[in-house]
């Protein structure tokens, strides 16, 4: 399919107008604040920001892998023939999705991690985020598998595929294409949600921005690079997802 391009002056005009409008709103907000910006002292803290960003990247990557393992396991359990496995996975998913991440982090850190004597912040961060994101991934994956039509499964049986072959050649590839956008969204959320780890004292990006603000007696300067830093991480993920979707595209 031909991709839609920016080819008319009208679209360009609308885009320009939108950018101007956002800029105007920002100007009004900052003027209202009547805030004395002080960037000079902040620039000395770039190393702190970078360290925080580094830990955020590491925790996000670790949680991406582990949450995928958790999600696949839970989805498989929910699709399995065993009632015990199905119900256990169901209970896990409902429990995690029914409580706020912040509450899970507080309980996970101050109750569970303390009780087990854990103090590695990378490890704790990865596990807590994976427990959370894994439940959502499980739902996405389960829905993807369930969305493969009965007639496709029937055709696969008719050509003589056994259960494993049906999954490998028909169910999995068709489900994968359908869950890709939702999974990317989930991974983007994972990166952003990692900012909540600052609340339990894990020294990731958001935590370090607050440190820099406090140390320089600034209250706001640190938040601008913080927002930009998260955008730098999340925007390419959307690009990668779009590229994968194009590669996996076929007409139904």
Q: Smallest distance, Å, CB 163 to other proteins?
A: 9
Closest distance to other proteins from the beta carbon of 110 (Å) = 47
DSSP 159: T
The single residue among 54, 100, 173, 236 that binds other proteins, judged by CB under 8 A, is: 173
Q: Coil, strand or helix: which one is 243?
A: helix
Count the Cβ atoms, other than its own, within 10 Å of residue 7: 8
Q: In the structure encoding, which two tokens stand for residue 87, read together?
A: 């119900």
Q: Is 1 in the site for other proteins (CB under 8 A)?
A: no
Output the CA–CA distances (angstroms, integers) from residue 32 to 26, 35, 59, in the order listed. Answer: 10, 8, 37
Nearest residue (CB) to other proteins, 90 versus 157? 157
- In the bound state with other proteins, the residue whose beta carbon lies nearer, of 119 and 251, is 251
Interface pattern 137-166 for other proteins (x via CB under 8 A): --------------xx-xxxxxxxxx--x-
Nearer to other proteins, 178 or 192 (CB): 178
Those residues with Cβ within 8 angstroms of residue 130's Cβ, 6 or more apart along the chain or in another chain = 62, 63, 66, 67, 69, 70
Q: How far is the CB of 140 from other proteins (least distance, A)?
A: 19
Residue 94 binds other proteins (CB under 8 A): no
How far apart, in whole angstroms, are the C-alpha atoms of residue 177 and residue 132? 23
Task: Measure the CA–CA gap between 88 and 107, rounded to whole angstroms.
Answer: 21
Site string for other proteins, 174-213 (x = CB under 8 A): x--x------------------------------------
Q: How far is the CB of 158 from other proteins (least distance, A)?
A: 4
Q: 3-class DSSP state for residue 220?
A: coil
Binding mask 103-142 for other proteins (x = CB under 8 A): ----------------------------------------
Q: How far is the CB of 242 from other proteins (least distance, A)?
A: 18
Tokens of 235: 């925007």
Residue 82 backbone dihedrals phi, psi, to 5 degrees:
-80, 125
Min separation Cβ 188 and other proteins, Å? 26
Rounded CA-CA distance 175/26 in Å is: 42
Q: Which of 3, 98, 103, 252 binds other proteins (CB under 8 A)?
A: 252
Sequence-ordered list of residues with C-beta below 8 angstroms from that of 127, at least 6 positions apart, any chain:
66, 108
**Residues forming the site for other proteins (CB under 8 A):** 151-152, 154-162, 165, 169-170, 173-174, 177, 248, 250-252
């Amino acid at each position: 399919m031909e991709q839609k391009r920016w080819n008319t002056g009208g679209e360009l005009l609308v885009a320009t107008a939108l950018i101007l409008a956002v800029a105007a709103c920002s100007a009004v907000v900052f003027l209202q604040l009547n805030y004395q910006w002080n960037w000079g002292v902040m620039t000395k803290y770039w190393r702190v920001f970078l360290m925080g960003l580094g830990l955020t990247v590491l925790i996000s990557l670790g949680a991406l892998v582990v949450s995928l393992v958790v999600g696949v396991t839970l989805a498989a359990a929910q699709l399995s023939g065993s009632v015990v496995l199905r119900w256990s996975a169901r209970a896990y998913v409902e429990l995690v999705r029914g409580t706020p991440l912040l509450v899970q982090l507080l309980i996970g850190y101050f109750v569970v991690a303390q009780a087990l004597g854990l103090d590695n912040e990378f490890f704790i961060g990865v596990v807590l985020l994976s427990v959370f994101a894994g439940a959502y991934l499980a739902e996405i994956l389960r829905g993807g598998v369930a969305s493969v039509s009965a007639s496709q499964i029937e055709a696969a049986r008719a050509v003589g595929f056994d259960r494993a072959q049906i999954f490998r050649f028909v169910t999995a590839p068709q489900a994968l294409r359908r869950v890709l956008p939702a999974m990317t969204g989930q991974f983007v959320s994972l990166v952003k949600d990692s900012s909540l780890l600052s609340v339990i004292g894990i020294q990731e990006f958001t935590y370090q921005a607050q440190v820099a603000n406090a140390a320089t007696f600034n209250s706001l300067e640190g938040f601008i690079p913080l927002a930009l830093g998260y955008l730098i991480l999340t925007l390419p993920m959307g690009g990668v997802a779009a590229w994968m979707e194009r590669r996996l595209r076929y007409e139904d």
